Structure 1
Amino acid sequence: MTGPAVILVGPMGVGKTTVGELLAQRLGTACRDTDEDIVQAAGRPISEIFLDEGEPHFRALEREAVRTALAEHTGVLALGGGAVLAPETRQLLEGAPVVFLDMDVAEAVKRVGLDAPRPLLMMNPRKQWRELMDARRPLYTEVATAVVSTENRTPDEVVGEILDVLELKQQ
Structure 2
Amino acid sequence: MTVRPTVVLIGPPGAGKSTVGAHLAQTLGTEFVDTDALVEQTDGRTISDIFVEDGEPAFRRMEADAVARALDGAGVVALGGGAPMQPSVAELLSGHHVVFLDVSISDASGRIGFDASRPLLAVNPRATWTRLMNERRPTYESLASVRIDTAGCTPEQVVEQVNAWFARES
Alignment deviations for residues 99-127 of structure 1 (CA, whole Å, 9 cap, x no partner): 00010111112111223421001111100
Equivalent in the alignment of 1:143: 143
**Whole-angstrom CA distance in 2 between matches of 1:32 and 1:6:** 11
Compute the RMSD of aligned alpha carbons: 1.4
Alignment deviations for residues 36-72 of structure 1 (CA, whole Å, 9 cap, x no partner): 110011101000000001000000000111011111x
Question: TM-score, structure 2 length as denominator?
Answer: 0.95
Equivalent in the alignment of 1:28: 29
Could you tell which deviates more after superposition, 12-21 or 153-162?
A: 12-21
1:164 maps to a residue whose letter is A
**Whole-angstrom CA distance in 1 between matches of 2:36 and 2:161:** 24
Question: Runs of at least 4 residues of structure 1 off by over 2 A?
Answer: none
Instruction: Check whether the contact 2:14–2:103 (CA below 8 A) recurs between aligned residues.
Output: no
Could you tell which deviates more after superposition, 112-121 or 124-133?
A: 112-121
Task: Please list, as runs of the form range in 1=range in 2, the aligned pairs for 1:86-105 lying within 5 A after superposition.
Answer: 86-105=86-105
Equivalent in the alignment of 2:55: 54
Report the count of equivalent residues.
168
**Whole-angstrom CA distance in 1 between matches of 2:17 and 2:124:** 24
- Secondary structure of the residue that 1:13 maps to in structure 2? coil
**Whole-angstrom CA distance in 2 between matches of 1:116 and 1:137:** 23
Cα shift at 1:94: 1.1
Equivalent in the alignment of 1:110: 110
Point out where structure 2 has 5 or more consecutive residues left out of the alignment.
Answer: none
Task: Please list, as runs of the form range in 1=range in 2, the aligned pairs for 1:37-48 lying within 5 A after superposition.
Answer: 37-48=38-49
